[in-house]
Amino acid sequence: MHMRACFIAVVLLAACSPPERGHTRIIGHGGSGNEGSFPMNTGPSLLAALRVTDGIEMDVQLTADHVLVAYHDDDLSVSTRCAGRINAYTWAQLAECPLLSRADAYPIVRLDSLLMEAATMNPDADFTLDCKLFAEKEWWPYLERFAERIDALHALPGLQGKLLVECQVIDFLQLVRDRSPAIPVFLYATDAQAHADSAARRGFTGISIDNDLISAAQVADARSRGLAVTLFDVGAFGRAAALAKQPDRIQTDAPSGFVR
């Protein structure tokens, strides 16, 4: 009975242990994800995640005066007391539009300031910019200015080689790649095969795709073609299955479950 009890204890301990990461980098979705104590894309969430991850992912938009900020939705009314697109407001005006969560308010994050602090906190971390393109006025000048500001961000002390860009808009990814060849660009994919074909044909770095929309074989195929693969929508209960596919990166809402 004693041996049986020991065997059961070992099995339970193994089941509760964090899965082996291998080469896969673990990225906090919006910072600490849904498991965090702070809303995603806020300064406290983004910085706290760096204690347990290899990097952080954040949703990025461009203000009217060309400042990169962290915000997810297409309208400020979703999470703030303001209304309209980020691209219709200057950085100074956004001071009146903090993110509201229960009884608390969080200033909208300015990327240049936060990422320089983050790079100092964790010099080995990298930073994924999920670019949300909601133009208030003309489309192409907006894309070009957005790409220009990402290039300027990448040039800041401590950020060279630390930024990755992902987006659904192929034209934008091509602009970023042409202006800043050193910045990896990932196509946000919804069809593993078709979008891997598209990314490979255009010379992009890789694809970012929902964990449920790609198999281990498709991950292996994409990597054999020189593409990196990022899986997202990975929570506490899907981490072992996601790691088994051997992707290059996992964006997770439960980063503490991957602690080495």
Residue 1's pLDDT is 44
Q: Indicate if the pLDDT at residue 7 is higher than 90.
A: no
Task: Please say whether the beta carbons of 221 and 196 come within 8 A.
Answer: yes
Go through the domains of the chain in sequence order and give each one's CATH number: 21-258 (3.20.20.190)
Alpha helices in 99-224 (DSSP H): 111-121, 139-154, 170-179, 192-202, 216-224
Q: Is the pTM of this model over 0.75?
A: yes
Work out the average pLDDT over 34-48. 93
User: Which tokens is 8 given?
Assistant: 């059961």
Q: What are 137-171's pLDDT values in tens digits?
A: 999 999 999 999 999 999 999 999 999 999 999 99
Q: Which residues of 148-173 are buried (b: 16+ CB within 10 A; e: fewer)?
A: bbbbebbebeebeebbbbbbbebebb
User: Which tokens is 41 given?
Assistant: 């894309």
